[in-house]
Amino acid sequence: MTDGYREILAERCENAAARIREIGGEKTVPEPFRDYFTRTASFLMSVRKDADNRALYEDILPENYRTSYGNPDYAAEKLGAGYGPLLSAVYAELRGIIPAVFEDDMEGQAVLMELFLSLYFEFENEKVPQPSTVKHLFSMYLRDYTPLFVREEISRMLLPERSFAADIIRDADFSRTDYLYRFGEYVTEETLKTAAFVNSLPEETVRKMADTFTEGYRRGFELGGKDLGRKETVHIIYELGYDRVIAAAIENFKKIGLRPVISRTPVRLVTKSPNRHAGYTGAVPNEQFDYDHREDLALILDEEYVSLRKRAAQEAYESLRREARLYAGPAVMETFGREPFVPGYSEHAVRMNDRETKRHLDLRNALLMIRQRYIPEEERSFTIIDFPVPAVGPDFEEIFRETIRVNTLDQEVYREIQQRMIDALDRGTAVHVTGRNGNETDLMIALHELRNPAGETNFENCLADVNIPVGEVFTSPVLAGTNGLLHVRRVFLEGFEYRDLRITLKDGMTDTYSCGNFEDPAKGKRYIEENILFHHPSLAIGEFAVGTNTAAYVMAKRYGIEALMPILIAEKTGPHFALGDTCYSREEDRAVFNPDGKEVIARDNEHTLVRKTDPSKAYYGCHTDITIPYNELGAVCVIHGDGTETYLIRDGRFVLPGTEALNEPLDNDNEHS
């Protein structure tokens, strides 16, 4: 940015702020809209780096949300159904001024304040514009700045010199916790407790955590046959509180030739991701607020916008072509321990209709294809690891130590045991999975035919590299012949809780589904459509796996945190089934080999094979794992072509010869039977 343009932006910000400061004393806007503009103007002017952190987020906190304009139902109640949802969506966008101020992003500040003023001017002098005018102004803002916002987000992901967060971490005094307020994220008592605890750990422990994280990343390239030496940047994604571990990880990454990129999770409506873990985050002020505004994009989601959004992504990646090729992929440190979120139903939240839903799905697919051209999946990798936060309960410190143990189990022991399981699975044509103890699962999983059993396998022997901790063997099932009911009494998926979740599969595709979260079955069905199917009419089963990490399962049982476990660990604590893309999405043509030298040939299914004629229809852009815990598991049985059977697991215990060691943690679990 040139000095001249910086001066122009500074003047724009100063002029807009001066005008907004005057609004509090004016009465030129008629009620009930005056209150909306007065309160929003006050919020915009309150955002400063030295402002009280809680005050910045107070309006949308759960205890205040009932009377917040961020709440679409309250906005509709006060402003009318025609205006309320629109102006609530505007307010949600305006809250993006917080990171803009903390990052000294003058352009971001200017465009938001000017958006607010453009709407205010329409309501001045006792005139009330039509809702269509309000929508048009908001749409024009979004369309005008989509290229800027898209370019900014892609730059933040690829350019180490965009070092706002990295600089804070590098300069932090970890004997204190006040550095957390410099990020501009919401900081709670729990955030402070997490940071204080991590900052008090022995250096040896912090190093062990960082080494597990970064070594898993390096091994992901090695085992995948990918050249890490050609890469220069790694995108670190984490939640504030574990900053000291991230500082150690940065040093580790530098030793293997990677510079860190640490960008904030996108906050703009046009760049927000359904996955909150798209950058670093603080605490979530109010999950209901996020949920209520998850489909605000419907306000502009026409074909013109779709073309604009795709063009903006194409141009941004093209301008950063070299940087994209040097990008190694994300390294993600997630947290767990909070109570699952069960959203309330907002009558007036903006929602996509069927046409907009399809358009949005098509757009997401198109954007993934654009990214794939510049950052090929077969050339990048990733790793994900999880650690607890104090909300997990009074045994937090013990659970923390146990999590480190689970994350660092002996891979060689698991490699040998899992290979025995794979050998048995490869002799079958299908796998039959049943439940017990109230779990009604009854699923038949069809397997690919091995034409060369001496050199081919259906299942990957998954150790702790990209997917920490160790403990699963997985495959991409054949869709035809995969039928039955998947049932889980309680499960926690991507931050949402599901009770009595039932999904039937017909030839590998979701057919019927329900859950017991709501008295009204229609609301439960919509809940699944939104958060598991992601608005797809149906999803394929992309993965079937058998989890082997009984130590993680017993840890969860011992501390009563089964419902709080992250999917990364939970998926290792029983068989799991992923709906959506396969584990080899967009890398199906890259050969994958197990440690025994056999090639994993189950990388495609009937749906992904469409990629050879129409790649835009081959992928869903989602992959949701649903696990049956051992105490709800009746059996995992390999079905042979001649009708004979081989049991891997029976009544929740491993019974295949050579796998009995996995029962040792279960033998110490008094509640397992």
Q: Cα–Cα distances in Å, from 188 out to 58, 242, 658?
A: 12, 14, 48
| Residue 181 clears pLDDT 60, i.e. is over it | yes
477, 480, 483, 489 alpha-carbon torsion, rounded to 10°: 40
3-class DSSP state of 153: helix
Locate 234 and state its tokens. 């790694």
Share of the chain above pLDDT 70, in %: 98
Q: Cα–Cα distances in Å, from 24 out to 34, 214, 505, 527?
A: 9, 51, 58, 41
Residue 175 CB neighbours (<10 A) = 8
Each residue's pLDDT tens digit, 118-171? 999 999 987 899 999 999 999 999 999 999 999 999 999 999 998 899 999 999
Q: For strand 472-475 and strand 541-547, is the pairing parallel, antiparallel, or unpaired?
A: antiparallel
Each residue's pLDDT tens digit, 217-232? 999 998 888 999 999 9
> Average pLDDT for residues 18-42, to the nearest whole number?
96
What is d(CA 510, CA 532) in angstroms, rounded to the nearest whole number?
A: 11
Q: Nearest CA to 566 among 389, 344, 343, 381? A: 389
pLDDT of res. 669? 65
Locate 598 and state its tokens. 């056999």
What is d(CA 57, CA 53) in angstroms, rounded to the nearest whole number?
A: 7
> Average pLDDT for residues 433-446, to the nearest whole number?
97
Edge-to-edge strand ranges of the sheet holding 383-388: 259-261, 233-238, 327-336, 383-388
> Average pLDDT for residues 612-634, to the nearest whole number?
90
Q: What residues does 545 pair with on adjacent strands?
A: 474, 576
Higher pLDDT among residues 569 and 322, named by residue: 322
Q: Nearest CA to 405 among 470, 320, 451? A: 470
Residue 22 CB neighbours (<10 A) = 9
pLDDT of res. 673? 44
Lowest mean pLDDT among 110-124, 273-287, 305-319: 273-287
> Average pLDDT for residues 564-579, to the nearest whole number?
90
What is d(CA 472, CA 569) in angstroms, rounded to the nearest whole number?
A: 10
pLDDT of res. 323? 97
| Residue 670 clears pLDDT 70, i.e. is over it | no
620 close to 580: Cβ distance less than 8 angstroms: yes
pLDDT of res. 451? 94
What is d(CA 267, CA 271) in angstroms, rounded to the nearest whole number?
A: 7
Residue type, 323: E
Share of the chain above pLDDT 90, in %: 84
DSSP H or E stretch at residue 11:
helix 3-23
Edge-to-edge strand ranges of the sheet holding 541-547: 460-462, 472-475, 541-547, 575-580, 623-627
| Residue 72 clears pLDDT 90, i.e. is over it | yes
Q: Nearest CA to 575 among 608, 556, 553, 604? A: 553
Lowest mean pLDDT among 488-502, 554-568, 577-591, 659-673: 659-673
Instruction: Give 516's DSSP letter.
Output: S
Per the listing, tokens 């009330």 go with 128
Sequence-ordered list of residues with C-beta below 8 angstroms from that of 519, at least 6 positions apart, any chain: none
